[in-house]
Homo-oligomer: A and B are copies of this chain.
């Protein structure tokens, strides 16, 4: 193996990873991040988010040359025209993405080579809440189930341990399972 191939594990540059961790340990202010989304209504249940700049590692980050755009829609049965995944599905995507990346980073740090990571997520909702028909059910999912299928060069017990650590450190798992103080205002 070359020096390069030893440095990259699971597609993560571990030298860069340890460098980042050391830099933030030395100056905790580098850990302050702010992420942002701008959203614009397109008509009906269709709206679009634009995502580009953020603040982090001590500066305004302008490295993304183009914005990401994400469309939200609703299926016909929920009065839309399917211009995009609906917002509840987008939340499951956020959760899947964060758990997976957290898993990949933890595995890289613990020298566990992964070959396959897949997950399936299900969220159960009684839409009588969000449609304003019933005050007895909550608006959001009653519960969310995430099932991972993971393959790598480690015994199952080790993969399970990595998944547990990844879950315990995932930003979106923390937010979805514990909630975040959120203010909504008319500007």
* Residue numbers in B under 8 Å from A125 (CB-CB): 32-35, 171
User: Is A144's CB within 8 Å of the partner chain B?
Assistant: yes
Q: How far is the CA of A147 from the CA of B184 in the complex (A)?
A: 6
Tell me how far the C-beta of A106 lies from the nearest C-beta in chain B, rounded to whole angstroms: 8
Q: What is the total number of copies of this protein in its complex? A: 2
Measured CB to CB, the residues of A under 8 A from B are: 10-13, 16-17, 20-21, 24-25, 28, 31-41, 43-47, 49, 51, 54, 56-57, 61, 63-64, 68, 70, 72, 74-80, 82, 84-102, 104-106, 114, 116-134, 137-150, 156, 159-160, 163, 167, 169-187
Per the bound structure, the CA–CA distance linking A106 and B131 in Å amounts to: 9
Report which of B47, B82, B174 forms a contact with A140, defined as CB distance below 8 A. B174
Please name all residues of chain B whose beta carbon is closer than 8 Å to the beta carbon of A120 when the two chains form the complex: 36-39, 187
